[in-house]
Amino acid sequence: MSETMKAAIFVEPGKMAVEEVPKAHLEKDDDVVVRVVRACVCGSDLWYFRGLSDHPRHSQIGHESIGVVEEIGSEVTSVKPGDFVVLPFPYSCGKCPVCKAGFESVCPHGGYFGASQAEYVRVPEADGTVVKVPGSPEDYDDATLASLLTIADVMSTGYHAAASAEVKPGDIAVVMGDGAVGLCGVLSAHMLGAGRIIAMSRHEDRGALAREFGATDIVAERDQAAIDKVLEMTGGYGADAVLECVGSKQSFDTAIGLIRRGGVIGRVGLPHDVEISAEGTFYGNIGIKGGPAPVRHYDLHAGLLDAVLKKEINPGRVFTVEFDLDHIQEAYEAMDQRKAIKSLIRF
């Protein structure tokens, strides 16, 4: 294939580039190739951009995008060229017991995208993976396109935190993390009817968006001071549900400290040095659930796609800056330096 496309390349920690690479193409009969319309940078991309976790150097990256189907493999039946689709960050068969139980993100036949910050992307197992959107991108305003982009990962991940934490109407929910996922966790807790939503945030812009998304209280304290504060706010009993959207030991230990006995911690932050006490959680009847978010399940079966299309929710508000692909370095830096909550890439 002599055709090429532009793609973001992770060169080394702190350094991104844009290069011409072979254009994404069909490799298997159940693949589709999608022309990307919007992509973005994920908080999890910052781990290797900051050199805090390993990632192959000089490799394509990105796992959140929406776009238009360009080509389909011979076995694909659910979409055709020209269809508008959301691409969940996990791909999945859609047919096995794990997928049928609503956990496509851990489908043993699936995997994760790693090349969607690019003009085109190959989608494996398309029929079990893509989320079809009515019409075409031109039918939607920029705000709706931004919100559709969030249900490829960040909004669905926030929802997984809330659903895993078993947020129920009237609950007191605490959200650990004020990044885009945490903010979407606030919105999700609100969707599930939480009566009081306490967002842990010490950044004014994020706290403001948390309030817009439904937070009733903002707590700036950390560690024991944060635990004391939440216990004081809850008559000493703690929060019914905690959405753990960070993944650090510090955040998890705080979650354990402020959860009510019998409560559930829903965790979506990739765990780094987290330790779970088998005894402590048992004698407090504390539940621990969560993991990589089954995006497609929530988009289609928990109503996220519908809610975005009906403008009932506007999770795209987490994108506070926007770049073209040529400025991918700036897109990463804006998030790394906390100048932006989340960077959108427009094609």
Residues in contact with a copy of itself by CB under 8 A are 96-98, 101-103, 105-108, 164, 234-237, 240, 252, 260-264, 267, 270-271, 274-279, 281-292, 294
* Residue 255 beta carbon to a copy of itself: minimum distance, rounded to whole angstroms: 12
Name which of 4 and 277 has its Cβ closer to a copy of itself: 277
| Cβ–Cβ < 8 Å for 154, 67 | no
Name which of 250 and 314 has its Cβ closer to a copy of itself: 250
What whole-number distance in Å separates Cα of residue 344 and Cα of residue 324?
8
Q: What letter does residue 248 receive in the DSSP assignment?
A: B
Tell me the two tokens of residue 266: 């829903």
Amino acid at 46: L
Strand partners, 324: 346
* Residue 241 beta carbon to a copy of itself: minimum distance, rounded to whole angstroms: 10
| Cβ–Cβ < 8 Å for 328, 305 | no
* Residue 106 beta carbon to a copy of itself: minimum distance, rounded to whole angstroms: 4
Q: What letter does residue 215 receive in the DSSP assignment?
A: -
Which value, in Å, is the radius of gyration of the alpha carbons in the chain? 20
What whole-number distance in Å separates Cα of residue 51 and Cα of residue 69?
34
Tell me the two tokens of residue 337: 């330096």
Name which of 193 and 262 has its Cβ closer to a copy of itself: 262
* Residue 190 beta carbon to a copy of itself: minimum distance, rounded to whole angstroms: 20
Amino acid at 239: A
What is the bridge-based pairing of β-strands 84-87 and 196-200? unpaired
SS3 227: helix
Name which of 184 and 274 has its Cβ closer to a copy of itself: 274
| Cβ–Cβ < 8 Å for 26, 2 | no
Name which of 294 and 316 has its Cβ closer to a copy of itself: 294
SS3 200: strand
* Residue 267 beta carbon to a copy of itself: minimum distance, rounded to whole angstroms: 7
Name which of 182 and 294 has its Cβ closer to a copy of itself: 294
270: left (phi over 0), alpha (psi -120 to 50) or beta: beta
Helices 249-258 and 223-233 pack at an angle, to 10 degrees, of: 30
Name which of 211 and 289 has its Cβ closer to a copy of itself: 289
* Residue 341 beta carbon to a copy of itself: minimum distance, rounded to whole angstroms: 24
Name which of 5 and 227 has its Cβ closer to a copy of itself: 227
* Residue 172 beta carbon to a copy of itself: minimum distance, rounded to whole angstroms: 9
* Residue 261 beta carbon to a copy of itself: minimum distance, rounded to whole angstroms: 4
* Residue 285 beta carbon to a copy of itself: minimum distance, rounded to whole angstroms: 3
What whole-number distance in Å separates Cα of residue 99 and Cα of residue 297?
8
Name which of 101 and 208 has its Cβ closer to a copy of itself: 101
SS3 326: helix
| Cβ–Cβ < 8 Å for 118, 260 | no
